[in-house]
Amino acid sequence: MKTVRDIDVVGKKVLLRCDLNLSINPGGSLGDNFRVKVSLPTIKYLIEKKAKVIIITHFGRPGGKIDPAYSLEKIAKQLEKFLELPVAFIDDCIGRRVKEKVNALVDGDILMLENLRFYLGEETDDEVFAKELSSIADVFINDAFGVSHRAHASTVGVTKFLPSVAGLLLEKEVNTLSELLNNYERPLSVVIGGAKISTKIGFIQSFLDKADHVLLGGALANTVLHAKGIAIGKSYIEKNMTEEVNKLTLTDIKLHLPVDAIVSADKTGKTADIHNDVIGKTKENDLILDIGEDTERLFSEILINSKTIIWNGPLGYIEVDAFAHGTKAIAETILSSGVNSYIGGGESIAYLEKNNLLDKFTHVSSGGGAMLELLSGMTLPGVEALNI
C-alpha cells in the first residue's frame, strides 16, 4: 500500500479525507478530540512539504440535506487550536465557489470544506459527485480509517479520478490491526458492547471461532438474552435480529453473557430505584442499563488471565454516570493487567478519553466498524481502492 511518503506533494493541491466525526455533548458542544489528535501527523506532514491541504470529512448523519447543526465550521476552529495554524473554511464542498477558494491557496495553506454528507451523492458513491469533488485537487490521500469500510464517494469514488495513497494514520491502523489479526498471544479475549448486535454479529461469530473468550455487554447483550428466552423487561433490543442471533452457538463455553445487571425504570439516573438484579429477574417495566457487580468480577477475572484483549463498544448506557460503572471498571481492569489491549469505537473512546483512561492501551483505533471488519478478515473498500 503506497502512502503519502511515496509521492511528491510539494506545491500540489491535496484532497485529504480525514475522519473528524466528533461526538456531541448533550448541550450541543463538541465532545472528545481524539479523532482530531490522530489526524494531526498527516496534516503536519503535508504542511511541512508545502502542499495545499484541502480537508474533507463528514459529521453526523444529516441525511443528504444541509443542516446547520452539522456544519464543520466549529470543527475547523477546533482543528485550528490543535494545529496552532489558520484553518480556512468554506460552507460547501463542490461548485464554483469552492474551486475559486482552492485556486487562491498558497503552499502550506489549509482549507476545510463543508460536510460531505450534506450531499446524497457522498454515501451512494455517486460518480458525478466524486468527479466534481476530485476536480479541485492533484492528489487524493485517504487518512480516514474510521470510514474506510464504507464505499463512499470520498473513500472510493475519488480514487477513480486522482492518484490516491494512504495517509499516516490509515497506514498505522492497517499495519497494526493486520499484525494483530495474524499474530496474537493467547488467551485472546474479546469484549463487545454497544447498542446494535446487527452491526457486530459477524465479528462475534468470527471470534467465537478464533478467540478463547467472547464477552458481551451493552444493549446488544439484551438481544442475545431475549433470543435465549430470558426476561429483560422493557430493555432495548433489536427484535428483527432474534433469528440471526439464534444461529450463533449460544451454548458455546467461550461466550460469556452478563449474569447480573444494573436496572432502572428509566435512563435518567435520577430515580431512587436503580438497583442490581440477577439476569432473568428483570421486572416488566425495568431497563437493563449496565452490567452488574458479579458480571464485573466475572469479566475481570477472565481479562486478567488473558494475553491479548480486543474491545469494541461500551458495556452500559455511558451517557449517564449511574450506568457507566461497568465500562469504567473493565477499562481499569484491562489497564491494570498490562496485557496487549486494542480498543475501538467512538462512544467508548469518547468516554475513556474524558476519564483519562486511553493512554495505556496498546492501540486505540480511530475506527469502530472498520476495526471490526478488518479483524473479521474482511477487506475495506477504502483501503482496497488504494491498491488498484
Q: CB neighbours of 333 closer than 8 A, spacing ≥ 6?
A: 299, 300, 303, 304
* 58 assigned to a ligand binding site: yes
Beta bridge partners of 99: none
Q: Measured between alpha carbons, how far is 183 from 210 in angstroms, rounded to an integer?
A: 12
Note if 346 is an active site residue: yes
User: Which residue among the candidates 346, 367, 368, 382 is catalytic per the annotation?
Assistant: 346
* 347 assigned to a ligand binding site: yes
Q: Measured between alpha carbons, how far is 215 from 170 in angstroms, rounded to an integer?
A: 28
Q: CB neighbours of 325 closer than 8 A, spacing ≥ 6?
A: 262, 290, 296, 316
* 206 assigned to a ligand binding site: no
User: Which residue among the candidates 12, 17, 35, 52 is catalytic per the annotation?
Assistant: 35
DSSP 31-57: ---HHHHHHHHHHHHHHHTT-EEEEE-
**Residues 70/62, Cβ–Cβ less than 8 Å:** yes
* 193 assigned to a ligand binding site: no
* 240 assigned to a ligand binding site: no
* 344 assigned to a ligand binding site: no
| Buried residues in 31-55 as b, exposed as e (16+ CB within 10 A) | bbbbbbebbeebbebbbebebbbbb
* 59 assigned to a ligand binding site: yes
Please name the residue that has the C-alpha cell 477487506: 379
* 61 assigned to a ligand binding site: yes
* 319 assigned to a ligand binding site: yes
* 97 assigned to a ligand binding site: no
Note if 35 is an active site residue: yes
Which residue in 374, 369, 373, 367 sits closest to 17, CA to CA?
Answer: 367
Which residue in 314, 359, 315 sits closest to 341, CA to CA?
Answer: 359
* 297 assigned to a ligand binding site: no
* 21 assigned to a ligand binding site: yes
* 149 assigned to a ligand binding site: no
* 20 assigned to a ligand binding site: yes
User: Which residue among the candidates 157, 368, 369, 382 is catalytic per the annotation?
Assistant: 369
End-to-end Cα, the chain, rounded Å: 10
Note if 157 is an active site residue: no
Label each residue of 96-161 as H, E or C.
HHHHHHHHCCCCCCEEECCCHHHCHHHHCCCHHHHHHHHCCCCEEEECCHHHCCCCCCCCCHHHHC
User: Which residue among the candidates 131, 196, 267, 354 is catalytic per the annotation?
Assistant: 196
* 316 assigned to a ligand binding site: no
Is there a cis peptide before residue 314, judged by omega within 30 degrees of 0? no
Note if 269 is an active site residue: no
* 186 assigned to a ligand binding site: no
Count CB neighbours of 106 within 10 A: 8
3-state SS, residue 370? helix
Beta bridge partners of 310: 190, 342
The catalytic residue positions are: 35, 196, 346, 369
**Residues in binding site:** 19-21, 35, 58-61, 117, 150, 200, 319, 345-348
**Residues in binding site for ATP:** 200, 319, 345-348
**Residues in binding site for (2R)-3-phosphoglycerate:** 35, 117, 150
**Residues in binding site for substrate:** 19-21, 35, 58-61, 117, 150
